[in-house]
Structure 1
Amino acid sequence: MKRLFSLWLACFLVFACLASSVSAASAAPERYVVFGDSIAIGFEPGMTVDSIPYGYSDRVYEQALLHGRATAANYGIGGLTSAGLKTMLQAVADGKKIKGSDLQPSLPDPRADQVVSDTAKIKADIAAATLITITIGGNDIGSKIITDLQNMNDADLDAFAATWMKTYTDNVTSTLQNIFTINKNVRVYIADQYSPVPAFMKAEYAKAQKLKDLFTATLKQIEQSFTKNNFKVTAVPVAAAFVGSEGTFTHIAEKDIHPNQSGYEKIAELFAKSIWGDYRDDLAKTDPITVVVGGRTIATPHLPALIGDSTFVPLREYSEALGATVDWNDETKTATVRYNGSSVALTLDSTTISVNGTAKQIETAAPHAHDSNGEMKTYIPLRLMAEGLGFDVQYVQQSRTAFINS
């Protein structure tokens, strides 16, 4: 998976119990592409360029992996406005090379040049995409919106809102047109804009709610203008969920309007429910990792073991969870795991395994006997075994979860 999820300085990286369960999650891969601003990145105050965020898009990617194979590419840029996104997508559609400064002046994201460095790749990702999510529009109103609201009377507010919504509508419409020119069948989901203004700021709160409601209605109109022409655009109602929870879902107490982890979790939930109709919030952050196969978390008292940078799992429990069969040769201490015509043979304490009859050197620790919960179990390298049998293995560092799909 391509991870452009490193960070903005001021402002990705990243077993069903029966074989039939694994197969059920093996539909065509979800190819997920992310566009937008710092919310698309997952920014929170205190992050640096070396931080690994865990934003809404990372969580949406996890939800995609719960439904089957998936890839993700994140082209979020901190500080991006809807005009900047429009410029970016126009350059992508035209095959034009650009730099971050071509999108808008003084972008605060030091990765901007890197993100847009290969517009041909961005275009190819859009062309292959099955799913695109977008968060954009907050930077259109500027970082001083709370102060500005204090000085606005009703007429000023109406004039400001009308200008903002016209600009936003024009820019998002152009962005969507370019996306659908590249890929007319992709499903696009766009979030409305939540208000971070806390309720105790009564006068500003009422004005911010008015702007929030107008934004939601405007985005709904954009959605309808595309769906009537059979393009798949869905407005995701994020803003309503933040009402009354501004202090719970954002860093506003630190004078920062970005979502906190609870806020990103809520945004991800709303996107996932719009996309798939459900949201799984039971992904445990266990030590060392959680393993999910075909959308189901393995339930066993014999937990994975992290050895170096590799995950080892008990042979029989995880092989059978994949729907594979296990033959054990006690004389040679060799286990042969078979699934759907593929086989992996692993010998205790040997750094060589056999994948479909071809010997491969193990660069990790060897399969070995391991004391687990009072029992001696044969532990094997998870990725080598699963990929040798033809499964796809994706690891999400932020939640310490390995997703395995057929």
Structure 2
Amino acid sequence: MQNPNITRDDTSSCPAFRRFMLLSYQKDVGELYSKLRKPFARQAAALSLAAIIAGGTALPSFPAALGGSHFAATSAYAAAAAADEYRIVALGDSLTVGYTHGMENEANPAPYGYVERVYEQALFQGLRASVSNYGILGLTTEELDRYVEAALKGETIKPSDLPGGNGHDPRIAQLAAATPQLFADVEKADLVVMAIGSNDFLTVFQQFKDGHAEELIQAMLPVYEQQLEAAVRAVIGINPHAEIVVSDLYNPAPNDKRFVSESDYKLLAQASADIRTRIEAVVKRLKDDGYNTRVAYVADDFVGKEVSYTTVLTGDFHPNNRGYEVMGKAFTEAIWGAYRVPAKRDDSVPISVVVAGKELQTANKPVLKNSKTYVPMRDITDAMGAKLLWNNKTRTATVTLDGKEVAFTIGAKTMVVDGKPVPIETPAYLQTVGKESKTYLPLAALSDGLGFQVVYRGTIKTAFINK
């Protein structure tokens, strides 16, 4: 089905980003994957993936507009956001990016990871939301701390201080230059989400063959804890009022001797548990200091489902779509308590409509007309809490809410907003429903006219209308 185009795109495709995905993938992961051709090397590579425990190798973040100074996947309304907008900032590695195996080969790669799902859940809450995603390829916890600390101090970080500084990321100079924007976004954030730490443990792989992996993990744990706390405290230094949610780290290695020995699997499982304990300790200290911090518990849901939730069978440890949904649910449960999905639609209903957090349930279904979404007049105005007057003589619907007035005349290519005509491509029309004629209004035009945020999420075929 075509995009109903009820709002401006909230994510954009970019050929430069596609080229970047391919180059980064080949440069940073190609050598590792080439080893998978040999059976022994396949097991060794799988061990390295398992040893990573959870997150991102050097794979790219997803900007809304590559080349700009602000690396964010945002709603188009963010540029003119209302003062009460609910702002989300995402920090971390390729899990925060939302990378999935093979994305670099897609014509129009559009990450749909845990961050995008958190954004959708904010819309489900009736929040006028935007999201800025600062996921960086290959990021370690130390580098995240360095990045946020630079923003806190009002400095612009050097490209060499980020993982792409060694040539992995062609955008690294722009990412470094975006440090002031990172400060501005965190300063205004209501919610900061993080998935970080996996790249810290990359060196564990080399120790499996020497039998020193456990010793190395135990030595790294307190360092990770210290660096994580420093990074989160740097965020708090910019904005002490934001809610901060940090994910624990899953182990992508199945309990299968084709991938790891039983003893190594137990070691990795214990490492995942130990990392979670360290994250919990950081969160507790920050809570005790009066800051709003939480843990998103992801790891346990992956246990026994590593093959189903990741692409480890292809030699890649990132989550697949199901895995990212699990992550999105974990974050959502930590933040709002329940993960929502649209109600099941009849095949004849093209999209779901959610107004101020409540799904529009009506016998009069939304209609797609010339790739635009129309909704029954009375149903949508009632859902918005707006006052509706119908002039049968002029066939004009006048909708008022919070001091704003929008009028539609059947067939007219203009609407009248607060007394001023505004051109529209989608005039109101009469739809025959049984023996009655129902007035259908263009959803985007009505919502814009009343000052609502309108976001269409093609991933779940749902339109969100929020004040």
TM band (smaller chain): 0.7 to 0.9
Q: Secondary structure at the match of 2:354?
A: strand
Q: Is the 8 A contact 2:342 2:359 kept in 1?
A: no
1:98: Cα distance to partner? 3.5
CA distance, structure 2, for counterparts of residue 41 and residue 29 of structure 1:
23
Partner of 2:409: 347
Question: Unaligned stretches of 5+ in structure 1?
Answer: 15-25
Match of 1:163 among 197, 215, 219: 219
1:203: Cα distance to partner? 3.1
Q: Secondary structure at the match of 2:103?
A: coil
1:379 and 2:440 aligned: yes
CA distance, structure 1, for counterparts of residue 353 and residue 341 of structure 2:
15
1:148: Cα distance to partner? 4.2
1:43 and 2:62 aligned: no
CA, structure 1 residues 45+352, in 2 after alignment: closer, same or farther (shift >3 Å)? same
1:393 and 2:393 aligned: no
Match of 1:338 among 400, 403, 407: 400
Q: Secondary structure at the match of 1:195?
A: coil
User: Please, which moves more after superposition, 71-80 or 367-376?
Assistant: 367-376
Match of 2:194 among 134, 142, 147: 134
Q: Is the 8 A contact 2:94 2:136 kept in 1?
A: yes
1:254 and 2:314 aligned: yes
Partner of 2:384: 322
Partner of 1:213: 273
CA, structure 1 residues 29+255, in 2 after alignment: closer, same or farther (shift >3 Å)? same
1:270 and 2:326 aligned: no
Partner of 2:366: 304
Identity %: 33
CA distance, structure 2, for counterparts of residue 190 and residue 401 of structure 1:
28
TM-score (norm. length: structure 1): 0.87
Question: Unaligned stretches of 5+ in structure 2?
Answer: 1-8, 26-58, 65-72, 75-81
CA distance, structure 1, for counterparts of residue 328 and residue 416 of structure 2:
41
Q: How does 1:363-378 map to 2 (within 5 A)?
A: 364-370=425-431, 376-378=437-439
1:355: Cα distance to partner? 1.1
Partner of 2:353: 291
User: Please, which moves more after superposition, 252-261 or 394-403?
Assistant: 394-403
Partner of 1:21: none
Q: Is the 8 A contact 1:319 1:337 kept in 2?
A: yes
TM-score (norm. length: structure 2): 0.76
1:218: Cα distance to partner? 1.0
1:32-58: CA deviation from partner (whole Å, max 9, x where unpaired)? 110001111111011138411111111
1:201-231: CA deviation from partner (whole Å, max 9, x where unpaired)? 3233112101101111111111122222112
CA, structure 1 residues 120+388, in 2 after alignment: closer, same or farther (shift >3 Å)? same
CA distance, structure 2, for counterparts of residue 2 and residue 35 of structure 1:
19
Partner of 1:122: 182
Partner of 2:39: none
Structure 2 counterpart of 1:97, one-letter code: T
1:247: Cα distance to partner? 1.2
CA distance, structure 2, for counterparts of residue 65 and residue 34 of structure 1:
16
CA distance, structure 2, for counterparts of residue 206 and residue 247 of structure 1:
17
Partner of 2:139: 80
1:175: Cα distance to partner? 1.0
Partner of 1:57: 115
State the aligned residue count.
Answer: 390
Match of 1:30 among 81, 86, 107: 86
Q: Is the 8 A contact 1:77 1:112 kept in 2?
A: no
CA distance, structure 2, for counterparts of residue 253 and residue 167 of structure 1:
31
1:281: Cα distance to partner? 3.1
CA distance, structure 2, for counterparts of residue 222 and residue 312 of structure 1:
49
Q: Is the 8 A contact 2:89 2:132 kept in 1?
A: yes
Q: Is the 8 A contact 2:162 2:172 kept in 1?
A: no
CA, structure 1 residues 379+106, in 2 after alignment: closer, same or farther (shift >3 Å)? farther
- Computed over aligned residues only, the root mean square deviation of the Cα atoms, in angstroms, reads 2.8
1:347: Cα distance to partner? 0.9
CA distance, structure 1, for counterparts of residue 253 and residue 433 of structure 2:
51
Q: Is the 8 A contact 2:214 2:267 kept in 1?
A: no
